[in-house]
Structure 1
């Protein structure tokens, strides 16, 4: 028979063994947990503007990276890369097929990511469903613009000219036919009873190039996002005939009437957002959701949005995805009305 002392010794040894086993198990679990985390981000982040320099995507990407870096919300280097072509469609083809799991490349986009996927001409097989929508940042509006010395003083004077001869005036924009700038350009004419397919439209790679064409006399009218022409308006180089908002916007555009004010019910809102790759890791997505929420709540970002003439309109990843689903239905209806749906 075992003595009480021996029994106690065995019990102590057993308890010690269980304790050591538990510690070993905890250490293994801890090690496994550490191995699951990559400490994202570990390298420089590229934010792509799928257009040339000077347009709305470019300005948004540069503001986004500037404030994230300046506030130290993101400590890794952030760079902006311009990849123009097809109103964003060229970049989307590369991104969806070659960068689908690249957590270190984000991009800026707006309605074209929906439009390009739905339109008949120049249709892109890739859209927002081939990405991870991270957040909506701002909203902007379309602008109908002419040179400062243009004989056209208001929207109706342009529309009357187009109604007489749809091919007389050359409209231009920074995106391909059937894309956002084209829709902005022809929407007032369509609402005014003009066959939009008869309106002459020339596309350029980015809003900056479209403005250059206007100032150089290669276009009579451009349709673009209001914020991208603000500096030209302040410099007295252009005249904005109409804004596609429901009500007048403030700041530098406070004197510009809406299309609706001029009897043309042409409204078009331009949202801008940030997207990641379709196969973005959960860790990277969580990192950007947190970082972007900090960004939009920072005084630096609010000041930047005001300076650029945008309106702050934040939607987190889940709400942004729902919004895009609804936007897809709206764009489909508009393209069908214009005979441009696929």
Structure 2
């Protein structure tokens, strides 16, 4: 049987829900994580990889980290090196969309193949434990007095924590262009800067700061969710009087040029993985919100997110 005919048969069986998991198995999947080790993309990618092997959707997963430029460097490498490879995956999400909007790179996400949105995570803003700033109001008061005095640390320019800081500035009457934002290539660098007192306020997903919040080395002062996160005693920006609600979602794409049948097969592998205990444990541990989308729903969501983020970033003076 020809390979393309076989893959079409696989896709049809997967859609019907009648394909046993071992038949899905790829010997090795290759995953590009477009960020340095230790951050949210890295945690999500490696958690997904563990779940893929637990689901027997892959015998092994090979990881490659390529940080920088809001994931654009990793995107470019992935798009150029994996054309037509049905066993290649790319971690991506809202941060990458923001980077594309601000950076206008020659390689576009649309060259790759959408597979699935996985999770949504809201930004938590923290200060070092010994900071004289105890609340977000303290930060805002300093921001109004001297915008340059508040150094915001987080992911790449255009990340959701960067956008949130600019949204906050605009709401309290500070020119968003005066936000003193320090971009880091990965979560590990940002954590070190916060703990070392090299930035005033740090922002990222709760999962990146959880260890240091629990140990008392960081003090969380706000979260960008609509309501407080379950089990986490951090006040929202909104309840403190600042209408800043913004989620950071993460997903996965396939290589450029794969066939519809290969896309369907990769989608079925990912859907099998997120049913495993390994994945559900990771979701609970990292305070992720499940936000699974595939197919046309995911295509439409990404298109909407590009438009929405572009509008927010324009109003915040970032574009």
TM-score after normalising by structure 1: 0.83
- Higher RCO, Cα 8 Å, sep 6+: 2
- Equivalence for 2:299: 321
Gaps of 5+ in 2: 8-22
Secondary structure at 2:185's aligned position in 1?
Answer: coil
Aligned-pair Cα RMSD in Å: 1.9
Distance 1:147 1:34, change over 3 A: closer
Residue 265 in structure 1 maps to residue 243 in structure 2: yes
Secondary structure at 2:267's aligned position in 1?
Answer: helix
Choose 1 or 2 for highest CA Rg.
1
Is the contact between residue 138 and residue 310 of structure 1 (CA under 8 Å) also seen in structure 2? yes
- Equivalence for 1:108: 91
Aligned pairs for 1:244-263 within 5 A: 244-251=224-231, 253=232, 255-263=233-241
Question: Residue 69 of structure 2: which of 64, 83, 86 is its match?
Answer: 86
Could you tell me how far apart the structure 1 residues matched to 2:67 and 2:82 are?
17
Residue 278 in structure 1 maps to residue 256 in structure 2: yes
Aligned pairs for 1:181-220 within 5 A: 181-220=161-200
Could you tell me how far apart the structure 2 residues matched to 1:256 and 1:313 are?
22
Secondary structure at 1:167's aligned position in 2?
Answer: helix
Gaps of 5+ in 1: 1-30
Could you tell me how far apart the structure 1 residues matched to 2:274 and 2:67 are?
27
Could you tell me how far apart the structure 1 residues matched to 2:41 and 2:318 are?
24
Secondary structure at 1:279's aligned position in 2?
Answer: coil
Shift of 1:219: 1.0
Aligned pairs for 1:58-137 within 5 A: 58-72=42-56, 74-119=57-102, 122-137=103-118
Could you tell me how far apart the structure 2 residues matched to 1:296 and 1:75 are?
13
Is the contact between residue 226 and residue 245 of structure 2 (CA under 8 Å) also seen in structure 1? yes
Shift of 1:235: 1.3
Secondary structure at 2:118's aligned position in 1?
Answer: strand
- Offset from partner CA, 1:202-232 (integer Å, 9 cap, x none): 1111122111111112111112122211111
Residue 140 in structure 1 maps to residue 121 in structure 2: yes
Secondary structure at 2:59's aligned position in 1?
Answer: coil
| Matched residue count | 304
Is the contact between residue 185 and residue 224 of structure 1 (CA under 8 Å) also seen in structure 2? no
Shift of 1:34: 5.5
- Offset from partner CA, 1:1-40 (integer Å, 9 cap, x none): xxxxxxxxxxxxxxxxxxxxxxxxxxxxxx4x46744798
